[in-house]
Amino acid sequence: MAFTAKDVQALRQATGAGMMDAKRALETNDGDMEIAKQWLREQGLAASAKRDDRDNAQGVVALVVDGQVGAIVELKCETDFVASSEHFKLEAQELAHLVAAKGKDAIADRQDRLEDLKITLKEKIEVGRIQRVEASGDAIVESYLHIQGGRGVNGVLVVMDGGTPALAHDVAVHVAFARPKYLSRDDVPADVVASERQTLEAITRNEGKPEAALEKIVDGRMQGFYKTVALLDQPYAKDDKQSITQLIGAATISAFAQVEIG
């Protein structure tokens, strides 16, 4: 019985098997879909389909900087044993190179490879967060990758104009540990600001502060909020007597990105 590429794809979707395994199953069983499914089960090649509901909070963060382009890819798995394997880390690095060269959508080019990896490593494996930044003009892209247990777990990219690579790297290290959500206070969404102000007002009232002083106290506490979430407002991790804005001086940061396991 003849079969088509669509049949191979349908068998893969039904069983979670890799492309080559699905094709071999159909070839071995004369194109019979149901017998091919059973054959894959007997061979232990359909096991990944049962892993879809498993937790895959482990993984590796791969980072690539190529000239004025930087990319970070999170490749997720179930155990730190697999996350630390050279085979797994190499795949994550290949994905990061692909994103840097062709953009985020290029991940689809390696989907078959990822499906095969599920079979090989016998875990729920999938691509997590993806970040890509690109500088223009004289701006530079710098990075920091925190290594733990022999694998990348926290990656940062920073795009800076008018600063040195060393300065941009220092900012990237800061981001890794300070975990800002936004570049500047102006980037914090209005609804987030309103919600935080409302919460701080309630806290201040519950503390019994005078109503007349309420607005001033809340304004002060909002400054503390911005120092938590906005990179440029944050105290520098290595010297909290100066902010990131003071640290970079005349340089400017146009973008940053962070991906962390967990």
Domains of the chain: 5-51 (1.10.8.10), 58-184+233-260 (3.30.479.20), 189-229 (1.10.286)
CA distance 42 to 20: 16
Cβ pair 214, 205 in contact under 8 A: yes
Q: Which of 135, 107, 116 is nearest to 17 (CA)?
A: 116
* 81 strand-pairing partners: none
Element (H, E) at 175: helix 165-178
CA distance 231 to 196: 17
Helix (H, G, I), strand (E, B) or coil at 252: strand
CA distance 13 to 26: 14
Q: Which of 178, 197, 200 is nearest to 189 (CA)?
A: 197
Is residue 252 packed enough to be buried (19+ CB in 10 Å), middle (13-18) or exposed (0-12)? Answer: middle
* 65 strand-pairing partners: 70
* 77 strand-pairing partners: 58
pLDDT digit of tens for each residue in the chain (262 aa)?
688 888 888 877 777 677 888 888 899 988 888 888 888 766 766 555 555 556 778 999 999 999 999 999 999 999 889 999 998 999 999 999 999 999 999 999 898 888 878 777 778 889 999 999 999 999 999 999 999 999 999 999 999 999 999 999 999 999 999 999 999 999 999 999 999 999 999 999 889 999 899 999 999 999 999 999 999 999 999 999 999 999 999 999 999 999 999 7
CA distance 168 to 118: 37
DSSP code, position 182:
B
